[in-house]
Structure 1
Amino acid sequence: MAHTPPLAPSVSGLHLPLAVTRLLPGVALCAAVAGSAMGLQWLETSVVGFAWVEALVLAILTGAAIRLFWTPGTYWMAGIRFSAKTLLEVAIALLGATVSGAAVAALGPWLLLAIMAVVALAIVGSYLIGRAFGLPHAMALLVACGNAICGNSAIAAVAPVIKAEGEDVAAAIGFTAVLGIAVVLLVPVVGAMLGYQATGVGVLAGLTVYAVPQVLAAAAPAGSAAIQMGAVVKLVRVLMLGPVTLVLGLMQAKHDRALKGDTASRPKLTQLVPWFIVVFLVLLGLRSAGAIPEEILAPLEGAVTAMTLMAMAGLGLMVDPKAVAKAGVRVATVAALSALMIGLMAVGAIAILGMA
């Protein structure tokens, strides 16, 4: 008689694959944190008439506050990682359907060139700051690429190409997470202090904030125009990950051949162009061609918002205070100076382009 495999655990009478059931606890926790963030935003609006801090930022802060007092175990972490990474990437991909190609074209050649220049100068400048403070080559590059492009995603893509050690990766990601929260909170304040309109706030957020969903949080106080501008500017930065990773891989290969005389591995295609960027561009093209019905855009935006909230909750829950503490004062100083330098570059670019 054939052996019958055991059934997976069930939810409301429905048998689910084991891979899905492993994710449920952490995903449910992130959903609860996201729900509490929405509740806090509603409370703000009810009391003072508007939200001082948006739900996306509150989700990060709530998750980080929980992590200070409790470290999720293996029972929770699979779902937390899924929410922080996969849901975030899916949200970014689906965001393409909500942005018309006309918005990208509307950036104009000068802004596109300014974005590429800021990324290139930020990588070089941040790397030099790191080396000046005595950071190893790999750590300095990780901090530089993380700050200049897209935080954890850039660090994860660059690390295997430059053969970075695990400890360096953990420290770089830890500081990127902490600085990412700080930048999200500071962008609206700086924009208000400098008298920026929606366009200026969007460009500032897009040029300085590490992750696309965090750009939405930073730009949200300035309105929908700032959100759209910030998202498009940020996505141009993310697209720089491909050529930057390719260049670093070729440089590493040349270095390895000089030292050992062997043939170094080249970067994988998936490292050059993240899948969610490809999907984003496909959906952007379909939206621009009128192939996506207008009536599904509102539900799609709601789904993107929900997934983004859960992703921010997951990122907050993954901030590791121990990894941050172990990294030391030098790495913290370099990361902070790098973020400050990028902020000054962004303000300069906005002034030169007259987009305040």
Structure 2
Amino acid sequence: MSQSAALPGPRIALPLLPGLLLCGAVAGAAALLALAQQALFGRAWLDGLVLAILLGTGLRSLRPLPAATAPGIAFSARTLLEIAVMLLGASLSLTTLMAAGPWLPLGIAVVVGLSILCGYGIGRGLGLPRRMAVLVACGNSICGNSAIAAVAPVIGAQARDVTAAIAFTAVLGVGLVLALPLAAPLLGLNDLQYGTLAGLTVYAVPQVLAATAPVSALAVQMGTLVKLVRVLMLGPVVLGFSLLAGTRAGQRPGLARLVPWFILGFLGLALLRSLGLLPPVLLGPIATVTGTLTLLAMAALGLGVDVRVVARAGLRVSLTVVLSLLLLGLAALGLIAVLPPG
């Protein structure tokens, strides 16, 4: 009795080990492929997160996975992902937002809100299930993978829905990074306006840098600022879905159920960063841990999905993503038109 009570940790951790090792192998292969692209072409055309999903899905589709890997894969796809979303809050600072003045963040909030509503409506109109429509709408409107990952556990989305939403938004995101600089001369925007457009439409912060760097340093700075403000919408959006989920269930859950722990952590870290209470020396390691955990979680999501399930939803998801992104682009151009020009 005393021996079993003294060793709860290893007995809990051992069942997770095979799945964690498999996720680690897939994530490592994806990271190496991303580095190889960077070395050969000067940039990674397919992000490591996307590659992790593709490799995991391909492995799962080639042959059945050992049953022993299931607990570790499930742990990585949920718990590690929630930790990564929480740590994302350390990259956000309200100080930068306040320096931009009130109209820009207010406009971004309006654009994000309208984009979510329109994206959800398009998805439902095309026959997507409710949860899938929510995932695609949030991924398009806020920050792609991170938004989909954060919203998924709150609305009870299944792994196949998360994987399909991330896969299609990620592929389109790569195309957007390539196309946007080419379209810049046709749009007649100055560098600040172009940076605003890129920050409002491109999914990930590194992709914003890739889309704005060919234009100017000013476009890079504006694009990054707008993108960070857009990412900041993640907390309120997830909180809103938590409130809706509690209301639909007809329950009055406690704070821990109403607001997921990782969202409380996300907001708490963002507040600490804004108040200067988070030591700058920790920001680099936190970003590294966040990226690593997210990569492991994406590998787990891929390993949890049969490609045939994703393929069946492909056309509708693709149309939803494309149409939603077009509407987001129009809304972004509308915001640029009403903002002060400088």
Stretch of structure 1 that moved more, 141-150 or 107-116: 141-150
Distance in 2 separating the partners of 1:354 and 1:69: 55
Partner AA of 1:322 in structure 2: R
1:179 corresponds to which of 159, 164, 168: 168
The 8 Å contact of residues 177 and 315 in structure 1, kept in 2 or not, is answered as: no
Report the Cα offset of residue 133 of structure 1. 4.0
Q: Which residue of 2 aligns with 1:92?
A: 85
Report the Cα offset of residue 303 of structure 1. 2.3
Q: Which residue of 2 aligns with 1:281?
A: 267
Distance in 1 separating the partners of 2:299 and 2:161: 20
Report the Cα offset of residue 109 of structure 1. 2.4
Q: Which residue of 2 aligns with 1:298?
A: 284
The 8 Å contact of residues 163 and 302 in structure 2, kept in 1 or not, is answered as: no
SS at structure 2 position matched to 1:292: coil
Distance in 2 separating the partners of 1:181 and 1:90: 21
Distance in 2 separating the partners of 1:95 and 1:141: 21
The 8 Å contact of residues 97 and 283 in structure 1, kept in 2 or not, is answered as: yes
Partner AA of 1:5 in structure 2: S
Distance in 2 separating the partners of 1:76 and 1:129: 37
Partner AA of 2:323 in structure 1: L
Q: Which residue of 2 aligns with 1:58?
A: 51
Distance in 1 separating the partners of 2:67 and 2:341: 47
1:188/1:46 CA distance change after superposition, 3 Å: same
The 8 Å contact of residues 122 and 342 in structure 1, kept in 2 or not, is answered as: yes
SS at structure 1 position matched to 2:65: coil
SS at structure 2 position matched to 1:291: coil
Report the Cα offset of residue 99 of structure 1. 3.5
Please tell me whether residue 240 in structure 1 is matched to residue 274 in structure 2: no
**CA deviation digits over 1:13-62, x for unaligned, max 9?**
xx952221222222222222232233223333433445444434433443
Distance in 2 separating the partners of 1:316 and 1:241: 23
Partner AA of 1:119 in structure 2: V
1:29/1:227 CA distance change after superposition, 3 Å: farther
Q: Which residue of 1 aligns with 2:216?
A: none
Report the Cα offset of residue 171 of structure 1. 6.6
Report the Cα offset of residue 189 of structure 1. 1.8
Under a length normalisation based on structure 2, what TM-score does the superposition of the two structures give?
0.73
Q: Which residue of 1 aligns with 2:40?
A: 47
The percentage of counterpart residues that share the same residue type is: 36
Gaps of 5+ in 2: 214-219
The 8 Å contact of residues 205 and 218 in structure 1, kept in 2 or not, is answered as: no
Partner AA of 1:35 in structure 2: G
Number of residue-to-residue matches in the alignment: 325
Q: Which residue of 2 aligns with 1:154?
A: 151
1:310/1:351 CA distance change after superposition, 3 Å: farther
Q: Which residue of 2 aligns with 1:221?
A: 210
Q: Which residue of 2 aligns with 1:317?
A: 303
Distance in 1 separating the partners of 2:97 and 2:55: 33
Q: How does 1:77-116 map to 2 (within 5 A)?
A: 77-116=70-109
The 8 Å contact of residues 99 and 287 in structure 1, kept in 2 or not, is answered as: yes
Gaps of 5+ in 1: 9-14, 160-165, 210-214, 254-263
SS at structure 2 position matched to 1:194: helix
Stretch of structure 1 that moved more, 230-239 or 321-330: 321-330
The 8 Å contact of residues 83 and 311 in structure 1, kept in 2 or not, is answered as: yes
Distance in 2 separating the partners of 1:73 and 1:343: 44
RMSD of Structure 2 on Structure 1 (CA): 4.1
SS at structure 2 position matched to 1:265: coil
